[in-house]
Chains A and B, each alone.
Chain A
Amino acid sequence: MAAIGPDVFFAAIPELNARLTSKEFSAEDLARAFAGRLEQLGPRYNALALPLPQHAIRKAQEVDKEIKRGRLRGPLQGVPYGVKDLISYAGQPTTWGAKPYAGQVFDYNATVVDKLDAVGAVITGKLATVELAGGGGYRYAAASLTGPGLNPWDRTRWSGGSSSGPAAAVAAGLAPFAIGSETSGSIVTPASYCGVTALRPTYGLVSRYGAMALSWTLDKLGPFAHTAEDCGLILQVIAGKDGKDPGSAGKGFYYTPQYARPMKDLKVGFAPVDFAERADASARPAFAAALGVMKDLGVQLVETKLPQFPYGPVLSAILAGEQASIFEPLITSGKVNDLADQAQIAGLKASLELPAKDYLKAQRVRRLIQEAFSRLFGEVDALIAPGRSGPASKIEQRLDVAAGPPPPAGTAPGFQGLIPAANLAGLPALVLPCGLAENLPVALQLVGVPFSENTLLAIGKEFQARTDWHKRRPPGL
């Protein structure tokens, strides 16, 4: 077995692919190294739901035979990865991070798993999630079958949720990439807190077949990785029409950085207040520097206002209505009481009582939100804002109340509500690590018009060519 050095654990996908195809090490070497590291260090961050080392080794041996025969299947061939434990892997437990489903086993793979398998990617394990992706509204980071997600940068801090395991695993070099999900914030938040690059695709671009449903009209699956380029390479594999997902947009995705528009032609909307008064004081220098880099890229930064809508209530009503229908058997059976978080239990129970008129009203307002964003994107190509306003919260901190004092009265709203707004409109987002605050990562989010992933990835690639925040490693790793 070839020695796998520490640099390999944090290498980007093209580098891994080059070293595999040049036979510097084999896919089996890589699978054994990553699977072992995931099993050894994953529990340290409560990031591991299920190790799959034997599956990984068998698959990697097949990949090595293919590479030996010259059957090359693209940059993900032989690259290990993990999936959030709400994504089905046939014959193995898929717990949805929740005690009532601890013994659940499906006999089929999720479409994303099949697609990754077809190009020779090697699954090494399933990764932790907040129970039921947190749809009921959770109060504490401990709302998970695997315990609170611990941040590899500081284990007294939260890794973010609900895709806690995918973000922590990539940040700690336990997997080169991982697949997570977002209904509203579950990719953007953990990627920001853990300092990894991640992509929330346009609604419908990636099939959700085989993934737990929380909200049929909001759920998306997307990649966590080390670079924007990695996210593009992964999205090219996992995107595409799927007749088994009624929400499928019927579109594929080809990562085409060679055809990116010149940066100087791009208008990017922002609200200065998001990077100043509405950001945590400790994070403002990092955000200011990141905006400076964006300007240096040549993009035109344009002050922009978000359309005014009650994004939070609209999203909450849609989520409540859909999760009530999905989890009605869990709630009415009383098994909901086995969940870990009391606020989540109560939220799920209350969702059964949501009036139909409220759900439909929310879906009607959502139509106006979509139209308003469509007009906004007539003026700008993308929006930029902090991924979160500051670094990761402390593990014991309550998540259902504001962490600090509110900004002074009269502070402009900025892009407050961008996460629910963009999810309601089905917009893609790219998360880019952009600095440290309190020795913890902070990040930017770039949001674009539907199916503009190539534009977001092009900006991200340029940003990462001029910064090294995406290469920083947590202390001791």
Chain B
Amino acid sequence: MKLTRRKLATAVLIPAAAAMAQTQPPPPGTPDEELKAARDRAKLIGEALAQQTLPMSTEPAFQFKA
């Protein structure tokens, strides 16, 4: 089969574009949806942090000095 440049471009670029499109969900449409998305991201951060187990002796990385 003869592979023309057009066919090659179609074969290579369209799947790549489709993959890109799949990785880019549309942005939230309204301010309320934006806020919900931001809250959801914050929730995920909390969940990621919750998975970290720490000894009681591990103090926060800032210091208070009297």
- The interface residues of chain A lying within 8 Å CB-to-CB of B39 are 350, 353
A368 and B55 CA atoms in complex are apart in Å by 11
Contact residues on A (Cβ < 8 Å of other chain), bracket: 35 or more
Within A314-346, the residues touching B (CB, 8 Å) are 314, 316-317, 320, 337, 342-343, 345-346
Decide: A368 and B20 in contact? CB cutoff 8 A.
no
**Contact A364 to B44, CB < 8 A, known contacts A313-B49, A401-B23, A404-B20:** no
Q: Is A363 an interface residue (CB 8 A)?
A: yes
Q: CB within 8 A of B49: which of A351, A362, A402?
A: A362
Q: Is B4 an interface residue (CB 8 A)?
A: no
Decide: A401 and B25 in contact? CB cutoff 8 A.
yes
**Contact A217 to B62, CB < 8 A, known contacts A361-B52, A364-B54, A405-B16:** yes
Decide: A370 and B61 in contact? CB cutoff 8 A.
yes
Within B1-44, the residues touching A (CB, 8 Å) are 16, 19-20, 23-25, 27-28, 31, 34-35, 37-39, 41-42, 44
- The interface residues of chain A lying within 8 Å CB-to-CB of B61 are 217, 363-364, 366-367, 369-370
- The interface residues of chain B lying within 8 Å CB-to-CB of A355 are 46
- The interface residues of chain B lying within 8 Å CB-to-CB of A137 are 38, 41
- The interface residues of chain B lying within 8 Å CB-to-CB of A320 are 42, 45
- The interface residues of chain B lying within 8 Å CB-to-CB of A349 are 35, 38
- B22 CB, nearest partner CB in chain A, Å: 9
Residue among B35, B42, B59 with the most chain A CB within 10 A?
A: B42
- The interface residues of chain A lying within 8 Å CB-to-CB of B46 are 317, 355, 358
Q: Is A472 an interface residue (CB 8 A)?
A: no
- The interface residues of chain B lying within 8 Å CB-to-CB of A400 are 27
Q: CB within 8 A of A314: which of B44, B49, B50?
A: B49
- The interface residues of chain B lying within 8 Å CB-to-CB of A368 are 54, 58
Q: Is A6 an interface residue (CB 8 A)?
A: no
**Contact A316 to B16, CB < 8 A, known contacts A310-B52, A398-B27:** no
Q: Is B66 an interface residue (CB 8 A)?
A: no
A156 and B60 CA atoms in complex are apart in Å by 43
Decide: B44 and A313 in contact? CB cutoff 8 A.
yes
A256 and B51 CA atoms in complex are apart in Å by 45
Decide: B49 and A361 in contact? CB cutoff 8 A.
yes
Q: CB within 8 A of B34: which of A310, A342, A360?
A: A342
A358 and B44 CA atoms in complex are apart in Å by 11
- B7 CB, nearest partner CB in chain A, Å: 22
Q: Is A115 an interface residue (CB 8 A)?
A: no
Decide: A405 and B19 in contact? CB cutoff 8 A.
yes
- The interface residues of chain B lying within 8 Å CB-to-CB of A366 are 60-61
A residues whose Cβ falls under 8 Å from a Cβ of B: 137, 139, 217, 309-310, 313-314, 316-317, 320, 337, 342-343, 345-347, 349-351, 353-355, 358, 360-370, 398, 400-402, 404-406
Task: Please name the 8 residue pairs, one residue from A and one from B, whose CB atoms are nearest each other, closest first.
Answer: A363-B60, A350-B38, A346-B34, A313-B48, A366-B61, A346-B38, A367-B61, A313-B45
